Structure formats: C-alpha cells, structure tokens
Structure 1
Amino acid sequence: MTKQGWLALMATGTLLTAGCGADGPLEESRARPVVERYAALTYENYTDVVTQALRLREAVERFLEQPSEERLSTARSAWINARRAYGQSEAFRFYGGPIDDEDTGPEGQINAWPLDEAYIDGIIDGQEPLSQELITSMNERNGETNISSGYHAIEFLLWGKDENDTGPGNRPYTDFVDGITPSNAERRRQYLSLVTKQLMEDLESVRAAWAPGQDNYRKAFVAEAPKEAVLKMLTGLGSLSGAELAGERMTVAYDNKDQENEHSCFSDNTHADLYNNALGIQNVYLGRYGTADGVGLDELVAAVDPKLNEEMKQRLQASLDAIQAIPAPFDQAILGNDSSPGRQKVKAAIDALRAQTETLVDVATALGIQLNLE
C-alpha cells in the first residue's frame, strides 16, 4: 500500500487503553519481558531483511556487469529470497514506528504498490540525469501508482510486465544490453543499480533504529509503559491482519479480478508475500523469529484466558494454512466465478484473516486494551 493509503488506514483505526491495576495482565514484571522480546525479534527480522537485500544487490550488480539469462535468473531468485524476510517484517508497521513514521519513515520508498510500469519507463526514457535523489523524489509524485523506488520497482525491472497467464513476466536480459534492442539499455542498467542501492540504504536505516545498545527508537520503545508498547504491537498485528492483508492485499484483487491489484504482479510472488505477512503476525504473537524463540503475547494472554490464547493460536495457523492452499499464481486464482476452486480458496483465506482479526480484538480486550480496527 502507498503511504497515503496507510495514513488513510490509520485514520480509521484508533485505540483506547483501559485501566489496569498493579496486578493486571500488563503488570510490569509480566509485560516487560514481552516488550523486550518484541524489540529483539524486530531487530532479528530486520537484520535478516538487510542480509537478503545485500545478496540481492550483489546479484544485481553481477548481472549488470555482464548481462546474461543465467545472471538475470540469479538476480530474480535473490529478489524472491529477499521478499521472504521483508514480508514477515510487515508486522512491525502501522503504529508510526521507524519504518512508517509519518514524517521520516521510508516505507513508501521500500514497498509501495501498485506500480504503473509506464511511469518507470518514462523516467528511464527521459533526459534528466539519473540519481538516487531523482528516483526518490519521483516516488509517488502526482499519483499513488507513480512508484519509482523499492522492491516493486526492482521487480518490474527484473521481470517486466506479466503478460503470461501461467507464469510471471519474462523480460529478456537483452533489455540491459547496448545495441541489441532500442531499449535505453544503459539508463535501464543505471536505474536498476541505483534503485537497489537506495533500497539497501532505506532498510539499513530501519534496522539501525532497532539496534540494541543505541540511543534510538528501540531504546525509547522498551522504556515505554508496557501497556503503551503492547498497544503498538497489537495495532500493528490487527491493522496488518485486517484492513491491509485481508482487505487491500486480497479483497481488492478478489473483487476486481485484476492482476494490477495483486502485490507482486510482475514476479507472480504474491502467494508467498501473503503467506509471509501472515507468518509475521504469528511470529510476534509467539515471540519468535526463525529458530529464535522467547516470551510473546501468547504468554500474557494465557495468564488471563488460556482458552482465548489457544483460540488465537489456532486462528493464526488457520490463516497460514488457508493462504498456503491458494493455488499459484494468485492472479489466476482470483479469476472465474465465485464457485471456481481458486476463488473459493482466496475467499476462505480472506475469511480466516477476518476471523483472526476479530480474535486479536478479543486478545486486546483481555489485556485491558480496547482495539478499534477498520
């Protein structure tokens, strides 16, 4: 979603804290370890994001040194690998943290979508000298689909427009080779190099905000009253689960049956994007990332309502299972009538995410927080 879209989302979701006594569910000794684990988990995830983005940049630069089909394929694989870690980090959004702070957050330069392909082609075909400053200044200029930077700009440059019913886009590597096609190959190479470098810098800035032992956002976050920090955690999970994932990323495409409304439409990686978004929600609730595990929201909820905690964990797994059941590619699953197998699977995943979101609201209530989501 574009930054403007995210701000609209935030305008429809507000939270009010309910009072908690000293022995309440968010009492300091119970909640502080959960807040600290969240901060550590966030840093672990963003460290993985930066590591994978560096591998993407290295693969892109090798491709640009000597374009070939093999090196283009390697760069595409690196992009897909990078999306796994980033997709899970979406659970840290939607409460004005470092990535999407209204004034300083770089999210709009990192993951904005949907993207107008002609807009990037127009910049490449233009006469203005290319630079990182130009690319970021053009991002979302005069329109939400005027995306010039981030993962999806790189995706379009690597795959090209998807005109294949059964697979992703298939841009030829010769689009980056001088003298073979009238394609502005030199400027396309330069653009891909610059936009990948900018992505690295933006992601590094977000990771730095969560680094331990620094005078940064993480330090302020863990110093907050636990109920304020948990409120932010639940805001991120509820907003991603409901209005963003079930809504913007799935229902819009389901209703419109248009591949332009799917998240990663050039690479046909949307099914994996959706899965990793949902996995990120589960990660935060359980306090884990990869093989690293710690105290999560589940332990707070289990202390006040064990049955609700089990229901929440079941909802989280049900959403993952429902998304995984959607046949790839996503742009074909949304087609046909409502009784077609693909659309039924997409609808089932949307319903699972909505039920999950409702249970997250119940979780918040059990912890003394009133969560008002769209």
Structure 2
Amino acid sequence: MTTRFLRLSALFALPALLAVSCGDTAGDDFDRSAMLRSIGETVILPTYRDFAAGARALDAASAAFCASPSAETLDATQQAFWDAKGFLKEAEASAYGPHTDNPLRLGPRVDFWPARTDSVDALLAAEDAVDAEALASRGAGEVGLPAIGYLLHDPTGGDEAVLAAFEADARRCAYLEGLAAYLVESADAYVTAWDPSGGDHLGELAEGRGLYVDVFRAASHVFEQVLWTIENVRELKLGKPFGKRDGGVLQPGQLEAPYSGRSLQDAIDALRGAEAVYLGRRGEVQGIGLRDWLLTRRPALDAEVQAAFGDAYAALEAVEGPLRQAIESDAAGVEDAYQAVKELQLVLSVDVAQALAITVTFNPTDGD
C-alpha cells in the first residue's frame, strides 16, 4: 500500500473527522509556549500591523480619489486595495480568536466573500447613511474589502466604466470613503486585540489560556489553522469556482475576487501566510515556527513540506490569466494548481500531524 494511497485515504476522511492519533509526547521537551509567542510576535502581530497600515493607505487613497477622480487616482486606490488585501489574506493562517470569536468577530466585517453585490447596490440606491459609524451596524455583505473591490473595479468596462459610475453618482464616493474608514477601525481592532499592551490575545495563545485550555491544544490549534488555510485554498478558492463540488460545472459566482481579478493572488497570499507560520519567519525576521517543532520529532519531513509549498506556488503562478478566465481557458493549469495544493494538504494532514501527535478536527469553514 503506497504512502500516497494512505494520505489520500486520510484526506477523504477529513470531512467527517480526521482521526490522527494523539501519539506519545513523553520525553518531548520542546518549548511550545516559546514557539507560540514567537509566531505571535514574528508573524501574526506584524501581519495585522501591516494590514492596519494598508487600510490607512487605502483610506487616504480613497479620499484623494474622491477629491479628484482621475485614471491616476483610481489606479492608486486600486493598488492600495490590492496591497491591503494581500496582508489580510496572509492573516488567514491566524484567522482565529478576534477574527472568529465574539465579542469582536472581526472576520465577517472585513472579508465576507464573495462580494454580495446586490447588498452593495441596494445600499447605494438607498438614502441611509454610509459613513463609518453607520456602516458599523450594517450587514457583513455591505462592508469590508469585497465591497470595496466591487466598487473600484469593472472587469467588463474597465477603469473608464468605474470612473463613469463614480461621476454619475456622488453617493458612490461617500460609500467608498465610509467603507475605507470603517476598514481602518476594524484593522486597528485586530492589532489592539492581539497586542500585549491591548487585549493580549498573543499572551492567551502563548500561555494556553482561555479558549485554548492549555499550551499543547493552543499549538495544535495553530497547526490546524495552517492546515485549514491550505484546505480552503484548495476547496474554496480554487475548487468551488472550478466546479469541484458541482460535478465539473463551473461556478464563476464563487470566485473570491472576480471584480479585481485578485482571486489567484488571494490564494498565493493565503499560502504565504501559512508558510510563514510553519517557518516562523516573515520577511527577513526569523523566529520559532511549527517547523522547529517538527524538527524535534521527524526532521526528515521538513524538506518534503518545503518542497510541497514550492510546488504549490509554482503551480498557482503558472495558471494563465485571472482565475475567472482560467477556469475556462486554462483548465489544465487550474487542475494542476488544485492538485499541487492537495499534495501540500496531504503531507501536513497526515505525516506532519502524526509526527506532532496532533488530532486534526473539523475545518470550521467545511461545507461553506
């Protein structure tokens, strides 16, 4: 029975519950608390700080665009959107705590995708206030980066159509500026929640307090989120629009970012965030990551994990054109990317999970 067959069998069991046995950790003196603190300080908090800075840049660019609409100021605003979203996609590998849990539950306020364009259009057509304070009480489909991406892009008519729409309706600018200002508030809330000088979710994670119960379970949760991020890239970002859940019938309405054409880059950025947590490294700053834990258990696996990340990046970057086009025009390339991400998921969900004695549970987004 081949290793690949065993991995595939385990992967198909994941929707029910991947029963990775909780192996013997006796004699394991690896400092998981130090690892968790390092991941928080080296990867998670810097990523959210960059997201907050990106949100402020988008807010400033939106104000400049609305003060003087032109092809140049629109381009600058679109670039600011692109950059801010990249940081948020990297943060998917730490999308727990303030992102998912009350009382903050920030995730749906910043990234409820795909864009609910009917909701955005309905609010544009109404007379309700659209400043940041008013948007704080609106539905998730009316706020966040997906709504901003929809307002700033038109894949059919291009930038000329976007400029014409803003010129024809001054309320679009009021809404855009309100969305950007509210995004700044939400991004800052992430930083405050994680920062040791604020809500100190970083300390809660590192010390295994609160919802994490203990340090081992906190470390397991961090690993699981990396795995779930990769699974979501495969199943939701690629598989859903590619028809993997619909008998091969393409579902372009399930693309993450069809208006900005960022769907493929969203997938790459999410993988980049997952890899950063695995390596314990972001940019030039090296800390302690999941890799260091693995090196104390089954060091030979590390090369396989890093090779699988490299293969997934290469396959995604080889897809020709925006994903909304590629699902039709480059089906082979999309299939290759799907399979490469699947291989990465397999090595983590089976081999690495077993090596770390982690029981992998339900993906919270499974079935969405």
Deviation for aligned residue 1:108: 0.5
Alpha-carbon displacement from aligned partner over 1:111-153 (angstroms, at most 9, x marks no partner): 111123232121111122334354343324xxxxxx1111111
Q: Could you tell me whether the CA contact under 8 Å between 2:92 and 2:229 is conserved in 1?
A: yes
Q: Could you tell me whether the CA contact under 8 Å between 2:99 and 2:105 is conserved in 1?
A: yes
Q: What secondary structure, in the 3-state scheme, does the structure 1 residue paired with 2:328 have? A: coil
What residue is the counterpart of 2:355 in the other structure?
Answer: 366
Deviation for aligned residue 1:288: 0.8
Q: 1:79-118 maps to which residues of 2 (within 5 A)?
A: 79-93=81-95, 96-101=96-101, 103-118=103-118
Deviation for aligned residue 1:76: 0.7
Measured on the aligned residues, the alpha-carbon RMSD in Å equals 2.3
Residues 1:18 and 2:22 are matched in the alignment: yes
Deviation for aligned residue 1:357: 1.3
What residue is the counterpart of 1:311 in the other structure?
Answer: 304
Q: What secondary structure, in the 3-state scheme, does the structure 1 residue paired with 2:97 have? A: coil
Q: Could you tell me whether the CA contact under 8 Å between 2:151 and 2:162 is conserved in 1?
A: no
Given candidates 241, 254, 269, the residue that maps to 2:230 is 241
Q: Which runs of 5+ in 1 are unaligned?
A: 1-9, 141-146, 337-341
Q: Could you tell me whether the CA contact under 8 Å between 1:159 and 1:170 is conserved in 2?
A: no
Q: What secondary structure, in the 3-state scheme, does the structure 1 residue paired with 2:240 have? A: helix
Alpha-carbon displacement from aligned partner over 1:262-296 (angstroms, at most 9, x marks no partner): 11111111121111111111111000111111121
Given candidates 265, 273, 291, the residue that maps to 1:272 is 265
The amino acid of 1:209's aligned partner reads A
Q: How many residues align?
A: 338
Deviation for aligned residue 1:67: 1.5
Q: Could you tell me whether the CA contact under 8 Å between 1:88 and 1:280 is conserved in 2?
A: yes
Residues 1:32 and 2:33 are matched in the alignment: yes
Given candidates 267, 282, 294, the residue that maps to 1:289 is 282
Deviation for aligned residue 1:171: 3.2
What residue is the counterpart of 1:174 in the other structure?
Answer: 164
Q: Distance in 1 between matches of 2:131 and 2:198?
A: 31
Q: Distance in 1 between matches of 2:31 and 2:200?
A: 24
Q: What secondary structure, in the 3-state scheme, does the structure 1 residue paired with 2:142 have? A: coil
Residues 1:191 and 2:171 are matched in the alignment: no
Alpha-carbon displacement from aligned partner over 1:307-358 (angstroms, at most 9, x marks no partner): 222211111111111111111211111015xxxxx11111111111122112
Given candidates 46, 51, 76, the residue that maps to 1:44 is 46
Q: Which runs of 5+ in 2 are unaligned?
A: 1-13, 209-213, 244-248, 364-368
Q: 1:139-154 maps to which residues of 2 (within 5 A)?
A: 139-140=139-140, 147-154=141-148
Q: Could you tell me whether the CA contact under 8 Å between 2:93 and 2:274 is conserved in 1?
A: yes
TM-score, structure 2 as length reference:
0.85
Q: Distance in 1 between matches of 2:264 and 2:343?
A: 20
Q: Could you tell me whether the CA contact under 8 Å between 1:154 and 1:195 is conserved in 2?
A: yes
Q: Distance in 2 between matches of 1:119 and 1:32?
A: 44
Q: Distance in 2 between matches of 1:103 and 1:13?
A: 28
In structure 2, relative to structure 1, the CA distance for the partners of 1:81 and 1:273 (3 Å cut) is same
Q: Could you tell me whether the CA contact under 8 Å between 2:20 and 2:357 is conserved in 1?
A: no
TM-score, structure 1 as length reference:
0.84
The amino acid of 1:275's aligned partner reads I
Q: Distance in 1 between matches of 2:233 and 2:242?
A: 12
Q: Distance in 2 between matches of 1:87 and 1:351?
A: 21
